[in-house]
Structure 1
Amino acid sequence: MSNVISLSEARLGDKGVITRVGADARDEHGAELERRLLELGLVEGAVIQLLHQGAIGKDPMALKVDDMRVALRRREARGLTIELFAQAAE
């Protein structure tokens, strides 16, 4: 099993490090989303953990990013790639 996933595929409790921001920034909307993610502190190298997910469609997601909390929709989370820590990938 690969330990590099899109954040949108994360399961409750998964923890890892952001390895890529803006997986699909080919159009204006994608570039805007990438800019907003970076402004929220979702930068390469930040430690991230999925704390909570909504009851309907698992949306929105509540995340711990370093020392802050952020909520994202799963479609926004598709723009982030994370590498799971070993204990989370098992």
Structure 2
Amino acid sequence: MKSLKDVKVGETATVVKLHGEGATKRRIMDMGITKGVEIHVRKVAPLGDPMELNVRGYELSVRKADAEKIEVS
């Protein structure tokens, strides 16, 4: 399983599945990250947390803990 956390800066990945439960999964989905959507990793903060993403035409910052719960291909 490859998670969003493993995607390098400048690469684009497609969401395969969301892991996690309840409020965490709901929050990720509310940000527009759903199955089948493409995510482009724009940059990662110097200490590795958070990641800046391009999702559905807007910029989004996601913590590494949340990025681990997003399975991509």
Same fold (TM over 0.5): yes
RMSD: 1.1
How many positions carry a matched residue from both structures?
A: 73
Q: Aligned match of 1:35 in 26, 43, 52?
A: 26
Q: 1:86 matched to which residue of 2?
A: none
Please list every run of 5 or more consecutive structure 1 residues that lacks an aligned counterpart in the other structure. Answer: 26-30, 84-90
Q: Aligned match of 1:20 in 17, 20, 23?
A: 17
Larger Rg computed on CA atoms: 1
1:1-90 equivalence runs, <5 A: 5-21=2-18, 23-25=19-21, 31-56=22-47, 58-83=48-73
> In the aligned structure 1, how far is the partner of 2:56 from the partner of 2:72?
14
AA partner of residue 31 (structure 2): L
Identical residues among aligned pairs (%): 21
Q: Any idea what the Cα deviations from partners look like across 1:4-62, whole Å, max 9, x if unmatched?
A: 610111111120111111x232xxxxx21100000010001111011010001x11100
**Which 4+ stretches in 1 moved above 4 angstroms?**
none
Query: Which structure shows the higher strand fraction?
Result: 2
AA partner of residue 55 (structure 1): P
Equivalent residue of 1:34, what SS?
Answer: helix
